[in-house]
Structure 1
């Protein structure tokens, strides 16, 4: 099991990153809540990871902290939830927000996420309510992210920023038409792809 990776951040293409560790590049998929916290390309970064082995692929998922990784591991144990849907859930809301939604049996908040229907949301609440109690009420708070300071250092052309944001949303389970509508609705002059994704995800909830 690969539990943690530390190295130089080579590429950021949401929701995937490439991290160089002693000459070996690790492709890691991350929920957007963790992706927002990454440093600039070229800087050192450390992420907690979860390794998934399938018959047709070996996938590595990365997280900013152990709490988010722990929640991801509980999510993929739930019936009907695979790694991709787990990633989508933790991109649409923070770990703290998800914990609160489950504890409060807030099915409507979960249904707002792509790939989550009413039956799936209700099943998640039933299956995870008791299991997630171990995270503790003191952790069930929204973790404040300094999003603006985590934005990319370079200015991305408008079309590239929009296309990158839409591509990321599609990767997270949104339909192309829906992704385009969300990105278009929140776009403002000067926004880069990370800010576009963040605002689009907020608008979708």
Structure 2
């Protein structure tokens, strides 16, 4: 802006590139871009965009459904290359959604999900994840 100079710092080059891409989306300013990068890592953001997950973006404070849809549309294929994991199996996705619905944030839920066996059922996975999260 004309009335001031602002400096933003990032831990990685990927975060800086993602921030700059977020700023190019109409309706997204520096504050909202920083909120997105605070709520999701660059890898998570890349995966959310690849999978078109509006729900995970709306969990970020300040992002509504319309803004989330605009982000998904305008950022598709524009974020820095990051390893995108294969889409989780149905049980893993259900466990993640259940933990998010119970009020855990994305990072807590993802950390618990990583500690679960790959072939766990939905019900047992939720039980185990809740046990893991209650220890923290």
TM-score, L = length of structure 1: 0.41
1:136 aligns with 2:77: no
Shift of 1:125: 0.4
Indicate the residue corresponding to 2:7 in structure 1.
Answer: 60
Mapped pair 1:94 → 2:41:
yes
Alignment map for 1:122-161 (pairs within 5 Å): 122-132=69-79, 135-138=80-83, 140=84
**CA offset digits 1:150-193 (Å, max 9, x no partner):** xxxxxxxxxxxxxxxxxxxxxxxxxxxxxxxxxxxxxxxxxxxx
| Cα deviation, residue 201, structure 1 | 7.8
Aligned residues: 92
Instruction: Measure the CA separation in 2 of the matches of 1:101 and 1:109.
Output: 7
From 26, 41, 44, the counterpart of 1:79? 26
Change (3 A) 1:63 1:105: same
Q: Which deviations, in whole Å up to 9, do the C-alpha atoms of 1:131-163 show, x marking residues without a partner? A: 22xx2253x46xxxxxxxxxxxxxxxxxxxxxx
Cα displacement (A) at 1:55:
1.8
- SS at structure 2 position matched to 1:80: coil
Q: Which has the higher helix share?
A: 2
Deviating 4+ runs (over 2 angstroms): 135-138, 199-203
Could you state the TM-score of these two structures normalised by the residue count of structure 2? 0.60
Instruction: Summarize deviations over 1:58-111 as a string: whole Å, max 9, x none.
Output: 100000110110000000001111111100110011111111001100000000
Instruction: Give structure 2 stretches of 5+ with no counterpart.
Output: 86-103, 109-136
Aligned to 1:154: none
Partner of residue 115, structure 2: none
Within the alignment, does 1:105 sit opposite 2:52 as a pair?
yes
Matches within 5 A, 1:161-200: none
3-state SS in 1 of match to 2:56: helix
Shift of 1:130: 2.4
User: What 5-or-longer segments of structure 1 have no aligned partner?
Assistant: 1-53, 142-198
